[in-house]
C-alpha cells in the first residue's frame, strides 16, 4: 500500500511539471513612483516589499506572481512628507500597512514581453489592472521591469482636501524592477 501511495505521489508531481518558484533578490529590486504636485514632479520609492513568483517562460499562462508593499516604507527624501503620507487621508499605513497585488493571468506578447493581469489592493480597495512586463536575464538573475499609471483617487489616496487634482494629480506613474533567482532560461 505504501508503494502504491508513493507511486501516485510521484506521478502527480511529474504531471505538474517542475517547480518554477523563484526567489526575490531584494538588493537588486526597486519600486518607485512619480506624482505631480502643482505640476512639479515628486519622486519616491518604497524601501520594503516582497514578491513571490512561480513562472516558466515556456508556459507563461500557468504562472503566478504576487507582491506586497509596506506602505510605511515610502521614501521621498523628506521626513515631513513621509509622515504626511502615513496619515489616514493618504496611505493610512498604521491601519492598512500593505498594498497587495495578485495576478490572475499572464499572457505572452513576444520578445520576452508579457501582460500580467490581476488585482491591486490598496487601503482595502481593489482594482483590476494589466501591467506590461519585460523580462531580461543576466546569469542567474531574471529582471521583471515595467510600469503602469495608478489613479490615486480610485484607492482614496489623498482623500479629503487632497482630492483636488489641481493640487496633486490623480495619475501616479509607478515603475518597478523585480529581480529573481530561479527563473528558467528565457
Inside any domain, residue 93:
yes
pTM beyond cutoff 0.85 = yes
The residues near 173 (Cβ < 8 Å, ≥ 6 apart) are 33, 34, 35, 147, 149, 150
Phi/psi at 47 (5° precision): -90, -25
Inside any domain, residue 14:
no
Lowest-confidence region among 6-10, 100-104, 162-166: 6-10
Quickly count: other Cβ atoms within 10 Å of residue 133's Cβ: 20
Q: Are the beta carbons of 125 and 96 closer than 8 angstroms?
A: no
Mean pLDDT on 146-167: 96
d(CA 93, CA 84) in angstroms, rounded, equals: 10
Q: How many domains does the chain have?
A: 1
Pull the grid cell for residue 61: 499562462
Inside any domain, residue 13:
no
Inside any domain, residue 104:
yes
Task: Identify the CATH number of the domain in which residue 131 sits.
Answer: 2.40.128.110
- Asked if pLDDT for residue 44 goes beyond 80, the answer is yes
- Asked if pLDDT for residue 50 goes beyond 90, the answer is yes
Indicate left, alpha or beta for 108 from its phi (over 0: left) and psi (-120 to 50: alpha). Answer: beta
Range of the domain at 76: 19-181
The tens digit of pLDDT for each residue in 93-110 reads 999 999 999 999 999 999
Inside any domain, residue 3:
no
- Asked if pLDDT for residue 136 goes beyond 60, the answer is yes
- Compute the mean pLDDT over every residue in the chain, rounded to the nearest whole number: 91
Phi/psi at 162 (5° precision): -85, 0
Rg (CA), the chain: 19
Amino acid at each position: 500500500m505504501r508503494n502504491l501511495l508513493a507511486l501516485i505521489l510521484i506521478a502527480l508531481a511529474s504531471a505538474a511539471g517542475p517547480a518554477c518558484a523563484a526567489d526575490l533578490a531584494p538588493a537588486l529590486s526597486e519600486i518607485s513612483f512619480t506624482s505631480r504636485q502643482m505640476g512639479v514632479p515628486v519622486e519616491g520609492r518604497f524601501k520594503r516589499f516582497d514578491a513571490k513568483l512561480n513562472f516558466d517562460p515556456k508556459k507563461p499562462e500557468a504562472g503566478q506572481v504576487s507582491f506586497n508593499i509596506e506602505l510605511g516604507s515610502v521614501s521621498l527624501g523628506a521626513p515631513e512628507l513621509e509622515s504626511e503620507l502615513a496619515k489616514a487621508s493618504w496611505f493610512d499605513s498604521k491601519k492598512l500597512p500593505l498594498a497587495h497585488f495578485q495576478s490572475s493571468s499572464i499572457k505572452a506578447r513576444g520578445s520576452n514581453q508579457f501582460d500580467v493581469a490581476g488585482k491591486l489592493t490598496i487601503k482595502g480597495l481593489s482594482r483590476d489592472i494589466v501591467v506590461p512586463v519585460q523580462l531580461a536575464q543576466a546569469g542567474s538573475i531574471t529582471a521583471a521591469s515595467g510600469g503602469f499609471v495608478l489613479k490615486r483617487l480610485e484607492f482614496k489616496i489623498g482623500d479629503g482636501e487632497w482630492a483636488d487634482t489641481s493640487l496633486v494629480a490623480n495619475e501616479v506613474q509607478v515603475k518597478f524592477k523585480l529581480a529573481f533567482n530561479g527563473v528558467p532560461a528565457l
